[in-house]
Structure 1
Amino acid sequence: MKKVYLLAIAILMFNCHNAQKKMGTQQIPLEKQITYMIDLTLKTPHELYINDILAVSRSRGSNAAIDINPYVLKNGKYKIKLRLLPYWHLNETTVSKSDIENARLFFGSYIRNKETDKILNYKADVALPIVAPKVDVPYFEQEWEVELTELPYELEGWSKGQDLRKWDKKELEKKVVAYYQKLWKMLNDGDGERFMKLWEKADDENAIYDYDTEIDEANKSEIADIKKHCVNRMIPLEDYEMKLYAEGRLVCLERKTHTREFNNYFPLDLKGWSPLVRKGQVRGGAEFPVKLYLPEGSNEFVIIRH
């Protein structure tokens, strides 16, 4: 009876927790569910950093909007940094002056109606002007500052994480790699339940910054996908480097070498990907990125973002 009683309490607490998450999101009126973003039009490979966190790394040009919300915790002023890189797979060694001049970045916001999946009030009207060099360059880098004023929430995120810059680098990397090895085994064994259990903190915040009440359904789908597609399909955990972001509060591993052909697919470049990569059955692959933080007073990493 004691075990049944404890199980009943656990189920009740779990259901209350999920109900609170949904209520918290639903209490924010649709017109206040602001998502800030950077609208990009770029012709070259690039990296975009938001609040000192790598938000996107692409080996080609792009015409897309990158959400800011996952990389900030509250309203305030934040740094946006863009790096333009040569087309490595064309053996180029410089970024052309004209490609830099033609780069377009705009800061703005939108609202997504989750019920209809329609985008409302899309505004990308604050230009982030490019100051181009007078000649071709090995790479191009520029920073801007943007201000967020209408987020209807404040998150803890990694704000109470340890400053990992103070750790011995070799000891820290050993600890990070051990955590990734644990994740790799879960994925390769198809153990989706254990893998997604580690996402609880990240999911709680995702439900808030993405105004999402369907996290549980998404997790069920992810668990099923891991069980179906990951068993004995994870490539070896290798070719990685450790990266620190958010002034040392976040850490992750990223692939460090370009790939010209991965699993019969050209050009699929794994550089910058998480080293947790599932090989596609016929071609290509999928990555499982994680960003970790180490809470103050703890010795156990916590997944906080993709």
Structure 2
Amino acid sequence: MRKLLVLFGILTVVFACGQEKKQINAKIMNIQYPEINANNFEQKLAASVKHYEKEPLYYMRINKSNCVVEVLVNDYPVHKDYELSNYATPLAINRAILKSGEQTLTYRLYPVGNLIKEEYGEGGTVTTLTDNTAIAISIIKMDNNSEKTLEDEEVIIKHISLSDAKGRFIASGKPYYEFTFTFNAQVPYVNEGWSKGQDLSKLDQKLLEAKAVEFYKEYGKIYEMKDADLLAKVSYGLEKRNSIASYKKLYDINGLWKEYLADFDEKNIKVLPIENFRMVSFGDDKVVFLLLNSLSYTYRGGGALRIEYIDKDGDESTLMPGIYLYLPEGKKLEDGLYMIN
């Protein structure tokens, strides 16, 4: 039995049996959609999605060798692959396309490290990109409303990494390589996303990091308290953008919310301290993310908030929510950050 108290913007949950008191500070975790809760999340989300005669969906196909890769569309992370193998299916990118027009795609290549040794039991640690490093990326388009399959995809652009006169990768011997190219996308929707966020590079960086850490800590308390209403409020903007861009139907949204709630069913939920991270920016310096400093396959590329639990099979697992924050125009950093829309 628990009692919910709301006082001076502080949500306080008091547990019986002498358990530790948990609090969520509404001033730290700014809420943009206070009207959203666990009961209306699905209906509100479905109502925000419009459907069109043509519903363009954009994907990318990636084929890489002798490297691992991270991909950003419009400076927003859409894919990371730290394995030797390649994905057979195309990867959706509409969530990073806010409106029609020219889009940018940036890929970052890194050495394979110990992957060859781990996979084949031989070889050493590879610390640089090699002569044989290569990547090919195709942007493809499909209509969500058509009866065509991915075999009928329309190729928008193909990109192949550059080589020198002898056929060697141009960044051979280097520990890192980045390249950006553009493509055109036409979509019937317009998402605000982070476009009306402030340039965070111009703000006090120590205060920015402190506010991001505060938000991450408060976000973790959602899982400790299993607060479905607050999870719905802070997740709504992100999922609204994704749902609009993917033309999701109510059935898909119902499944999405079930996945969110399933995390509350896990046992022995424990939120780890926010530590060993570095602050990075995305969205042309309008988005901040706390990146965990780790090269392990389990954690690499993940955020600083880690939630450990025991899954239904009795195995230890870790949830790493992707918490991307921004500061809307007209807001003060001293008053805290917001989840991106």
- Answer yes or no: is the 8 Å Cα contact 1:188–1:232 preserved in 2: yes
Distance in 1 between the 2:321 and 2:202 partners?
27
Match of 2:161 among 130, 133, 157: 130
Q: Which position in structure 1 is the counterpart of 2:96?
A: 71
- Answer yes or no: is the 8 Å Cα contact 1:47–1:56 preserved in 2: yes
Cα displacement (A) at 1:165: 1.1
Q: Which position in structure 2 is the counterpart of 1:25?
A: 49
- Answer yes or no: is the 8 Å Cα contact 2:281–2:288 preserved in 1: yes
Q: Which position in structure 2 is the counterpart of 1:106?
A: 138
Q: Which has the higher contact order (CA 8 A, sep 6+)?
A: 2
Task: Please identify the structure whose Cα radius of gyration is greater.
Answer: 2
- Answer yes or no: is the 8 Å Cα contact 1:254–1:272 preserved in 2: yes
Secondary structure (helix, strand or coil) at the match of 1:48 reads strand
Q: Which moved more, 1:35-44 or 1:276-285?
A: 276-285
Distance in 1 between the 2:245 and 2:156 partners?
22
Q: Which moved more, 1:170-179 or 1:61-70?
A: 61-70
Q: Quick one: structure 1 residues 189 and 89, their matched pair in 2 at CA, closer, same or farther if it must change by over 3 Å?
A: farther
Cα displacement (A) at 1:238: 2.1
Q: What do the CA deviations read for 1:226-277 (whole angstroms, capped 9, x no partner)?
A: 3212652333322221111111111111112222xxxxxxxx3312102223
Cα displacement (A) at 1:17: 10
Match of 1:241 among 278, 295, 301: 278
Q: Quick one: structure 1 residues 173 and 230, their matched pair in 2 at CA, closer, same or farther if it must change by over 3 Å?
A: farther
Letter in structure 2 aligned against 1:156? E
Distance in 2 between the 1:23 and 1:73 partners?
19
Distance in 2 between the 1:252 and 1:28 partners?
34
Secondary structure (helix, strand or coil) at the match of 1:226 reads helix
- Answer yes or no: is the 8 Å Cα contact 2:50–2:244 preserved in 1: no
Letter in structure 1 aligned against 2:101? G
Secondary structure (helix, strand or coil) at the match of 1:232 reads strand
Q: Where is the helix percentage greater, Structure 1 or Structure 2?
A: 1
Gaps of 5+ in 1: 1-9, 260-267
Match of 2:219 among 169, 175, 183: 183
- Answer yes or no: is the 8 Å Cα contact 1:188–1:230 preserved in 2: no
Q: Which position in structure 1 is the counterpart of 2:298?
A: 269
Secondary structure (helix, strand or coil) at the match of 1:143 reads strand
Q: What do the CA deviations read for 1:27-48 (whole angstroms, capped 9, x no partner)?
A: 312xx11111221011321111
> Normalization by structure 1: what TM-score?
0.80
Match of 2:130 among 88, 96, 120: 96
How much is the aligned-residue C-alpha RMSD, in angstroms? 3.0
Letter in structure 2 aligned against 1:27? H
- Answer yes or no: is the 8 Å Cα contact 2:61–2:137 preserved in 1: yes
Structure 2 matches for 1:11-90, cutoff 5 A?
A: 18=43, 22=46, 25-29=49-53, 32-43=54-65, 44-61=67-84, 62-63=86-87, 64-90=89-115
Distance in 1 between the 2:112 and 2:226 partners?
36
- Identity of matched residues, %: 22
Q: What do the CA deviations read for 1:51-107 (whole angstroms, capped 9, x no partner)?
A: 12222222214325332211121111122111111122342111122132xx22111
Q: Which position in structure 1 is the counterpart of 2:3?
A: none
Match of 1:222 among 249, 255, 259: 259
Cα displacement (A) at 1:221: 0.9
Is 1:168 the equivalent of 2:168? no
Distance in 1 between the 2:50 and 2:64 partners?
36
Distance in 1 between the 2:47 and 2:249 partners?
8
Q: Which position in structure 1 is the counterpart of 2:321?
A: 288
- Answer yes or no: is the 8 Å Cα contact 2:42–2:254 preserved in 1: no
Letter in structure 1 aligned against 2:319? A
- Answer yes or no: is the 8 Å Cα contact 1:189–1:230 preserved in 2: no
Letter in structure 1 aligned against 2:63? T
Q: Quick one: structure 1 residues 17 and 295, their matched pair in 2 at CA, closer, same or farther if it must change by over 3 Å?
A: farther
Gaps of 5+ in 2: 1-34, 116-124, 164-168
Q: Quick one: structure 1 residues 288 and 23, their matched pair in 2 at CA, closer, same or farther if it must change by over 3 Å?
A: closer
Q: Quick one: structure 1 residues 53 and 24, their matched pair in 2 at CA, closer, same or farther if it must change by over 3 Å?
A: closer
- Answer yes or no: is the 8 Å Cα contact 2:49–2:248 preserved in 1: yes
